[in-house]
A = this chain, B = another copy of it.
């Protein structure tokens, strides 16, 4: 999704692709094939780039260290990126900064887990510090025994498990911003993210009915995190909104264009992929102003159709105002394979339209 803005900005984008027919490889001028875990492939790729950035957090730290030693220009820098790669490091750092977090602990043993759960109340939320996404690597457990397999594996690797209290939140919010190497930062309006079975299915931009004071405090916290961690590029800060003080806690960080920001591709003066490119190149940032009153983003999850084209045509014809973005990825049930943005004045109408288009593409509705 950077390919469009890169062309608009006159940049020549190169992608380290998983395979020759990877979806990104089909729309950029250069896409050498290689695994993000293969140090030699990544180093060869980076040597041909002016600036290197990331579309996920899974490049191993030891590969990143080699790139730094090679003199590659990485944005975000590995020193920042590790707080998005390692949830325990993230919790330690945010707590030190005074950013509101759920109560949390590192557990290495079953008795660590027992102690934490007895203190904050069961059930608790357990997370593997690395490699999780879209609900993977997360477990809600009612007893410490339910974690014994994870704890055993973590003990072998010496990584520990992150435990968090289960926060009784009102809803989920996200602050998305971009920050450049010279320190300029710009935040989009706070959005509401709607999750189903641990996967974000809908984003409402801006978050309806949000207390402006809470929105300002959340945005200030996110900007402070970005500055303190020296984040470059897009930073997504996922929040739980609370009924009581402090009004929110931070759930997760991501240092890349993020699902919660897909609405901005059509709904804001500057979309998150354009802004990410501007940020990592240290170009002046663009305005994050929404172009319309509301934009609703609905994720398209893999479903009935292995061949999406007929459904795509149907959705385009049914709603000419819907912006359908398909990723060209293979369809697997529940996998995010695209999203739909719809903008306008009537939030209920937009939710119905975005949801219908996403459901149709999934095959959940057939008319």
Contact = CB atoms under 8 A, between A and B. Distances in A.
A13 B27 CA distance: 7
A194 interface: no
B29 A284 contact: no
Contacts of A326: 10
Contact of A4 (B4, B12, B291, B328): B4
Contact of A321 (B13, B266, B287): B287
A283 interface: yes
B27 A6 contact: yes
B321 A289 contact: yes
A286 B316 contact: yes
B283 A316 contact: yes
Interface in A8-22: 8, 10-13
Contacts of A1: 7-8
B29 A10 contact: no
A27 B10 contact: yes
Most chain B CB within 10 A, of A23, A26, A285, A327, is at: A26
A3 B7 contact: yes
A320 interface: yes
A316 B12 contact: no
A55 interface: no
Chain A interface residue number, banded = 35 or more
A293 to B, nearest CB: 11
A176 to B, nearest CB: 16
A327 B8 CA distance: 8
A347 interface: no
A343 interface: yes
A285 B7 contact: no
A285 B320 contact: yes
Nearest to A338: B10
Given A10-B328, A317-B284, A320-B270, A27 B26 contact: no
Given A3-B7, A8-B325, A286-B321, 19 more contacts: A1-B7, A3-B3, A3-B4, A4-B8, A7-B28, A10-B27, A10-B327, A11-B27, A26-B29, A27-B29, A266-B269, A269-B321, A269-B323, A269-B343, A283-B316, A284-B317, A285-B320, A291-B291, A292-B292
24 contacts: A1-B7, A1-B8, A3-B3, A3-B4, A4-B5, A6-B27, A7-B27, A10-B26, A10-B328, A11-B27, A25-B29, A27-B29, A29-B29, A186-B320, A269-B323, A283-B313, A283-B316, A284-B313, A284-B316, A284-B320, A285-B320, A286-B316, A291-B343, A292-B292
Closest 9 CB pairs of A and B: A4-B4, A284-B317, A3-B7, A7-B27, A284-B316, A287-B320, A287-B321, A291-B291, A4-B7
